[in-house]
Amino acid sequence: MIVREHDRRLGAATSSSPAGSRTRGHPLACASAVASIEAFQEEGIVENSAAMGDVLRATSSRELAEKHPSIGEVRGLGCFWGLELVKNRETREPLVPFNARGRGGDAGGAAREGARSSAAST
């Protein structure tokens, strides 16, 4: 009843369709989210990710940073990791400027060009 009253007050301002709504949680989307959370809990996915993250942190991240001069910092949690790519580790100047575009108009092109120029200067 509360939802119906809310919809009545909003009137034409809402954008509803038989397939659901853009502005509110659709029951089907919520059901799939709940099922995903239950699967994560039953299969121990979060705990496994944390354990794998401990292994990555202990070995791979240090070794990777030592091998590659363009890696400024490696940070992460569980299986979600990021690399900071720099031109110079001392100054921490980014390898590629924020939101840069390469020759083909994609950000990846700029990263490839930055990596080439960094390798040439070392």
Q: Render pLDDT for 33-57 as a digit per residue (tens, 0 to 9).
A: 999 999 999 999 999 999 988 888 7
Instruction: Name residue 14's amino acid.
Output: T
- For CA atoms 82, 85, 90, 91, the dihedral sign is negative
pLDDT above 50: residue 85? yes
Distance from C-alpha of 53 to C-alpha of 64, rounded to nearest angstrom: 15
Tell me what the mean pLDDT of segment 20-41 comes to.
Answer: 82
The 10 Å CB-count burial string (b at 16+, else e) for 11-44 is eeeeeeeeeeeeeeeeeeeeeeeeeeeeeeeeee
φ and ψ at residue 57, rounded to 5 degrees:
-65, -40
